[in-house]
Amino acid sequence: MNISNDGWFGRSIGPLQHFQIARMRAIETGRWLLRATNTGVTATIDHAGRVVERLPQFETAVLRASVQPREGATPYVRFGNWTLATLASLLLAVAAFLSYRESR
């Protein structure tokens, strides 16, 4: 579940950016996401990041939707940012080694 106060964005693209971030979280976790906002994008997003139901911005309404519980863990849930951090560290170490070797 993602609850957000998007009112301070006004009519900018901020609420839509928040919505896109929420869609990515659904994909990362492999879980359905229920997003509720005061003036932004209220929606139901499935485990693959597809928008199932959506309310228009700046309108008072109620969203009713069914969700499907899921089990298991995606690689991101299982390992988090460690995979990316380890890969970046390894690449920096290789670059430093090659730079050191070249300067000798």
Instruction: Judge if 95 and 46 occupy the same domain.
Output: no
How large is the average pLDDT for residues 51-77? 91
Residue at token pair 């990316």:
84
Q: How far is CA 73 from the centre of its chain?
A: 15
Output the pLDDT for position 8. 86
Whether the Cβ atoms of residue 34 and residue 3 lie closer than 8 Å to each other: no
* Cα R_g (the chain), whole angstroms: 20
Instruction: Find the DSSP H helices in 8-81.
Output: 14-29, 75-79
Strands annotated E in 2-101: 2-4, 33-37, 43-45, 51-54
Domain that holds residue 101: 74-104
Output the pLDDT for position 93. 96
Query: What average pLDDT does the chain have?
Result: 92
Instruction: Judge if 88 and 46 occupy the same domain.
Output: no
Instruction: Judge if 25 and 62 occupy the same domain.
Output: yes
Instruction: Judge if 47 and 27 occupy the same domain.
Output: yes
